[in-house]
Amino acid sequence: MTAPLTSQSLDIDALKEGYAAGAFIPSTIVEEVYLRIADAGERPVWITLVPKEMALEKAKRAQGPLAGIPFAVKDNIDVAGLPTTCACPDFAYVPERSATVVERLEAAGAILIGKTNLDQFATGLVGTRSPYGIPASVFDPDYISGGSSSGSAVAVASGLVSFALGTDTAGSGRVPAAFNNIVGLKPTKGLVSARGVVPACRTQDTVSVFALTISDAAAVTSIAAAFDGEDVYARKAMRPFAVETPPAGLRVGVPADGLEFFGDGEAERLYRMSVERLAERGARIVEIDFAPFRDAARLLYQGPWVAERLAAIRTFAEQRPEALHEVVGAIIRGADKLSAVETFEGMYRLAELTRSAEAQWQTMDAMLLPTTGTTYRISDVLADPIQLNSNLGTYTNFVNLMDLSALAVPAGFRPNGLPFGVTLIGPAFDDGRLAAIGDALHRTLPDQRLGATTRRLDETPAATPSTPGGRVAVAVVGAHLTGQPLNSQLQERNARLVTTARTAPGYRFYALAGTTPAKPGLVFDGEGAGGIEVEIWDMDERGFGSFVALIPPPLGIGTLKLADGSLVKGFLCEPHAVRDATDITAFGGWRAWLAR
């Protein structure tokens, strides 16, 4: 039975379940979100809210894999028509165009609620450096929320939105996740477009995703991740983002020594338990030399990368120095003392450490670290803002510098009720593999809640890997459907029907002329309504190869995006072949067309 709306979690699965059951509609959820925000108060989590009427109007028209899913963005990410402040009111401007990542998520039906608080100019891991107030941990108002993506993490953990975007340069998309019992997926640099994001360190920044479950974070990332030619630091992934089956004999690296918990014995205990839980699930624990990673972490606030922070806002910092937060200003203006020689020396040192770390990666598939060694009271951070912030970056600062992927995962609670988190780290573009490992680890926790909500993790679906190696999932749309004339070609190859699904928006569907047997053509033009029924069949690679050889032009096999954001191989048609065809998109599938 669907839970009453007032107690309904906003995780994506819960909302989709409620929508499918007719328990509520997107506009009802939007109304509920604004009621929850009004009850909690806008500050200090939010800087700017989308007018409720505008969000409601978008909810009425929402279509796509994230239709009706409310989300938030950190206020260094542009949203057309809303001010971008970077937590500095005097810096504010109103962009005419949203960031690419926001455009992609809204096109998928997600409903933007507003822009969230942050450490000013994304400089800090604490969440205390903003004139808009200090967000606190959702579990204890005396403790920090973590930063710099403070408001985004709190909004997700407290059930105000389903997911939120942050940015991560030094750990800003991971530390707040750990302090609020949620997931923080930090993609490989360049996997998600940073066009429309005010940079902290432009060569090191990445947009990150906060969510209540890894399944949710993966669903959002699968839509957000795409090469963007307008972002000069965008990179073409070796493979599309998707949850991937970990390798057999998974090797997980843990430091042989040198771990620092800053006197937090409970954090150390919970970390050791996470290592044990992975081992119990079959992972081989490998001790590694953590020194090159630790030394790289210490470089982030030296040389090139402090200079990059100044480069991002140099004109404003020079003209309006009084507008900067005291601590942020001291850090950024410190770059004035750096020389070009020191910048190159820092870059050379990082290259040396990265090469040294390669030997460690030969012994492991992923690394497991504490996200932070401890946490702090807000009052303690205000009294010692530099050193305590530095402590929090011990296990996060090196990741982007060394071009690694990372996923922050909840890992239990201290006796005082404060959450602890661990981070899985892998090579670049191993994001999908980390998602599978992280989800399995997350689900070993007993009675695990989602953020600070009442919903339990075991009530949500696991992050399902794509078809294991040696197998191929194929989407069929016409004559190969169950009961149709060419379905025997699948049966002859011992293919197995897995599920039925529908395509994402952007596809048009045509009845082709002059084919025997009758066949349809599916074409992606970015404008079609989509929602076309498909069947997903699973077969081995050898069978797939012989199956593809049977397909006559103008049909072929390409990559389809489904309504849930996942990618699968499937039938597509060459565009020239639909010039004389009948557009049957409105029927939603081949069977419906045949039954007309």
**pLDDT band at residue 470 using 50, 70 and 90 as cut-offs:** low
Choice among 114-118, 152-156, 300-304, 349-353 with the minimum mean pLDDT: 300-304
Domain extents in the chain = 5-251+371-459, 471-594
- DSSP code at position 489: H
Confirm whether 5-251+371-459 and 471-594 share one CATH topology. Answer: no
Q: What is the value of pTM for the model shown?
A: 0.79
Of 195, 198, 193, the closest CA to residue 87 belongs to 198
- pLDDT for residue 69: 97
How far apart CA 128 and CA 150 sit, in angstroms, is 9
Where are the extended beta strands (E) located within 92-244? 111-116, 136-137, 140-144, 163-168, 183-186, 206-211
Q: What per-residue confidence (pLDDT) applies to 2?
A: 42
What are the tens digits of pLDDT across the range 245-283? 888 789 999 999 879 999 999 999 999 999 999 999 999
The pLDDT assigned to 238 comes to 61
Position 534 confidence tier, pLDDT thresholds 50, 70, 90? very high
What is the C-alpha separation between 556 and 558, in angstroms, rounded? 7
Mean pLDDT of the chain: 93
- Tens of pLDDT, residue by residue over 48-77, are 999 999 999 999 999 888 999 999 999 999
Question: Would you call 74 a catalytic residue per the annotation?
Answer: yes
Q: What is residue 64's predicted lDDT score, i.e. its pLDDT?
A: 86
Tell me what pLDDT residue 3 has.
47
- Is 365 exposed, middle or buried (CB count within 10 Å of its CB: 0-12, 13-18, 19+)? buried
Pick the CATH number of 471-594 from 1.10.3720.10, 3.10.490.10, 3.40.50.11600, 3.30.70.20: 3.10.490.10
Task: Give the position of tokens 């899913």.
Answer: 69
Residue 211 is which amino acid?
A
Of 172, 208, 274, 566, which one is the catalytic site residue? 172
* pLDDT: which is higher, 558 or 194: 194
* Residue type present at position 81: G
Tell me the residue type at 166.
G
Q: Which is the catalytic residue, given 130, 137, 145, 148?
A: 148
Catalytic (active site) residue 148? yes
pLDDT digits (tens, 9 = 90+) for 482-515: 989 999 999 888 787 878 889 999 999 999 999 9
Band of pLDDT at residue 7, cut at 50, 70 and 90: low
User: What tens digit of pLDDT does each residue of 85-128 get?
Assistant: 999 999 999 999 999 999 999 999 999 999 999 999 999 999 99
pLDDT above 80 (res 302): no
Q: Cβ(493)–Cβ(474) under 8 Å? A: no
Check whether 543 has a pLDDT greater than 70. Answer: yes
Task: Report the greatest alpha carbon distance in the chain.
Answer: 78
pLDDT for residue 454 is more than 50: yes
Span 302-308, mean pLDDT? Answer: 82
Q: Is 222 part of the annotated catalytic residue set? A: no
Report how far residue 103's alpha carbon sits from residue 56's, in angstroms, rounded to the nearest whole number.
Answer: 18
Q: For residues 355-375, give the mean pLDDT.
A: 97
Rounded Cα distance between 406 and 390, Å, is: 19
Q: Can you list the alpha helix ranges (DSSP code H) found in 78-192? A: 100-107, 150-157, 175-179
452 to 31, 139, 242, 340, 565: CA distances (angstroms): 21, 7, 27, 47, 27
CATH class assigned to 5-251+371-459: alpha beta
Active-site pick, 58, 74, 186, 561 = 74
Q: How far apart are CA 490 and CA 488, in angstroms?
A: 5
310-355 pLDDT, tens digit per residue, is 888 989 988 999 999 999 999 888 887 888 898 899 999 999 999 9
